[in-house]
Amino acid sequence: MKSSEVLDLLKRRFPNEPEYHQAVEEVVESIEDVYNEHPEFEKANLIERLVIPDKIHSFRVTWIDDKGNVQTNMGYRVQHNNAIGPYKGGIRFHASVSPSILKFLAFEQTFKNALTTLPMGGAKGGSDFSPRGKSDGEVMRFCQAFVEGLWRVIGPNTDVPAGDIGVGGREVGYMFGKYKKLAEEFTGTFTGKGREFGGSLIRPEATGYGNVYFLLEMLKTRNIDIKGKKCLVSGSGNVAQYTCEKLLELGAIPVTLSDSDGYIHDPDGITKEKLEFVMELKNLYRGRIREYAEEYGCKYVPGARPWAEKGDIALPSATQNEIDQTDAETLVKNGVIAVSEGANMPSTPEAIAVFQSNKILYAPGKAANAGGVSVSGLEMTQNSERYSWSAEQVDEKLRWIMANIHENCVKYGKEGDGYVNYVKGANIAGFMKVAKAMMGQGIL
Ligand code: NDP
């Protein structure tokens, strides 16, 4: 297998899907040597079967807005690979959602899920519906209409969706309710559910907490204490909020947050009380991060991301390709020691190259943000058992899983000079598990 040939094939067969090509390119480049050590993989044309999704469902979603107008959006579910378990991955509602974005996310999810040690395949779904500015009733009607298009292809042993950008507890609740009614069953077909109907404790916190647990493991390799470190966090949604919460608990100092309109810089640090304000602002009132600056009198920069500010650690937690080469160079120039990705693919390939050539501790999303899907996996286990574990039990398992993923990254990613290439480590560890499972199940 030559990674360039795989890429050429994908570009010919699926043109105009840059995010999908970008995600595949990163993986095939880093597994090329390992793949070529296994001629049986090539004989089974494993690589093509691994990079092309098993199935892609697309459907029109029709709903009625508050003014009585009939609206349409597109809905999708990309079921990428189920070699190691039922398809599993979030649902994203954002105006930018396209087949390319969902294919990149489903592809990444397959490797991420393999890394967690839990039996979950990879999938992703979503819609170009934007919840921004929509009433609660509109969001509910949209979620119900979306599930009408989706419900026949999901199920507790088939495909278990969860949240992502624009999809939190409220949306998962509406989707779960509609699924329950259509399928006439009460099963754990969605994760990230409300606590009262099967949701796991620590699921809302899991991605942010997990990212910080992974960061701690990386810092440990260089005997660096997180206490007192200034942290640049982007986003202000689920992942960013719980990243800040865990950083504060450990004595680190988050100084930035952002949304799609701009970022705030609070040099005094985002305290627990200020974080509570953000949670209320974003989760209850669905306001803008600009309002933080108005409340606390700090700097707000519209139309920009926080990477030009000085910080020791960067935790991008908003969206894909939010750190480019120039941002990465600025971060390095300003002395950043670690970058741990809460978002999926937030750094461009050029930015990753800057981090790695400067030997910065750099963790890709598929390793560092795997805590979310891990606790989703634990929610599936609890639902199957019709039982629920305490917050301490779930948190302990989450910590163990993140430490284990870190260990695997080091095992496969340590280079001659001792530097750990976490991208390579995560890709090889995830790939080997999925590849062996596919080989064991014959040509499908
Ligand atoms: P939320 O919708 O809760 O928050 C997303 C945040 O990112 C918001 O502040 C949003 O701003 C901002 N944002 C979204 N799109 C853009 C954009 N195009 N440009 C700038 N800012 C943007 O989502 P999550 O916190 O759940 O997800 C954040 C990231 O983490 C995503 O990459 C997601 O795939 C990843 N992730 C999430 C997991 C989870 O468990 N939730 C699990 C693993 C990864 P605004 O309010 O203006 O839209």
What pLDDT score was predicted for residue 254? 98
Whether 250 and 164 map to the same domain: the answer is: no
Query: Which residue, judged by its Cα, is nearest atom 21 of ligand 1?
Result: 260
CATH number of the domain encompassing residue 286: 3.40.50.720
CA–CA separation, 342 and 315 (whole Å): 6
**11 located within any domain:** yes
What pLDDT score was predicted for residue 2? 82
* Global pTM value: 0.97
CATH number of the domain encompassing residue 8: 3.40.50.10860
Q: Buried b vs exposed e over 135-169: b needs ≥16 C-beta within 10 Å?
A: eeebbbbbbbbbbbbbbebbbbeebbbbbbbbbbb
Asked if residue 342 has its Cβ within 6 Å of ligand 1, the reply is yes
Whether 151 and 230 map to the same domain: the answer is: no
Whether 96 and 214 map to the same domain: the answer is: no
Asked if residue 101 has its Cβ within 6 Å of ligand 1, the reply is no
Q: Which atom of ligand 1 approaches the CA of 132 most closely?
A: 48
**398 located within any domain:** no
Q: How many domains does the chain have?
A: 2
**141 located within any domain:** yes
Asked if residue 236 has its Cβ within 6 Å of ligand 1, the reply is yes
Picking from 122, 127, 171, the residue whose alpha carbon sits closest to that of residue 149 is 127
CA–CA separation, 373 and 189 (whole Å): 14
Annotated catalytic residue 124: yes
Asked if residue 256 has its Cβ within 6 Å of ligand 1, the reply is no
What pLDDT score was predicted for residue 4? 87
CA–CA separation, 252 and 100 (whole Å): 36
Whether 176 and 33 map to the same domain: the answer is: yes
Whether 175 and 117 map to the same domain: the answer is: yes
The Å distance, Cα 168 to ligand 1 centre, comes to 10
Within 274-399, strands assigned E span: 299-302, 313-315, 338-340, 361-363
Query: Which residue, judged by its Cα, is nearest atom 44 of ligand 1?
Result: 343
Query: Which residue, judged by its Cα, is nearest atom 23 of ligand 1?
Result: 165
Residue 249 CB contacts under 8 Å (≥ 6 apart), including other chains: none
The Å distance, Cα 317 to ligand 1 centre, comes to 6
What pLDDT score was predicted for residue 406? 98
Mutate to test the pocket of ligand 1, among 259, 289, 323, 379 (most ligand atoms within 8 A of CB): 259
346-355 confidence digits (pLDDT tens) = 999 999 999 9
Whether 167 and 224 map to the same domain: the answer is: no
Mutate to test the pocket of ligand 1, among 78, 110, 286, 319 (most ligand atoms within 8 A of CB): 319
Residue 54 CB contacts under 8 Å (≥ 6 apart), including other chains: 79, 80, 81, 82
What pLDDT score was predicted for residue 86? 98
Whether 225 and 141 map to the same domain: the answer is: no
State which residues form the domain around 246.
206-363
Long-range CB pairs of 296-301 (<8 Å, 24+ gap) are 296/266, 298/264, 298/265, 298/266, 298/267, 298/268, 299/264, 299/265, 299/266, 300/262, 300/263, 300/264, 301/262, 301/263, 301/264, 301/265
Asked if residue 344 has its Cβ within 6 Å of ligand 1, the reply is yes
Q: Which atom of ligand 1 approaches the CA of 369 most closely?
A: 43
Burial class (CB in 10 A: 0-12, 13-18, 19+), 123: buried
CA–CA separation, 371 and 213 (whole Å): 9
Domain-terminating residue out of 363, 396, 427: 363
The Å distance, Cα 47 to ligand 1 centre, comes to 30
**129 located within any domain:** yes
Asked if residue 28 has its Cβ within 6 Å of ligand 1, the reply is no
pLDDT tens for the 444 residues of the chain, in order: 788 899 999 999 999 999 999 999 999 999 999 999 999 999 999 999 999 999 999 999 999 999 999 999 999 999 999 999 999 999 999 999 999 999 999 999 999 999 999 999 999 999 999 999 999 999 999 999 999 999 999 999 999 999 999 999 999 999 999 999 999 999 999 999 999 999 999 999 999 999 999 999 999 999 999 999 999 999 999 999 999 999 999 999 999 999 999 999 999 999 999 999 999 999 999 999 999 999 999 999 999 999 999 999 999 999 999 999 999 999 999 999 999 999 999 999 999 999 999 999 999 999 999 999 999 999 999 999 999 999 999 999 999 999 999 999 999 999 999 999 999 999 999 999 999 999 999 999
**60 located within any domain:** yes
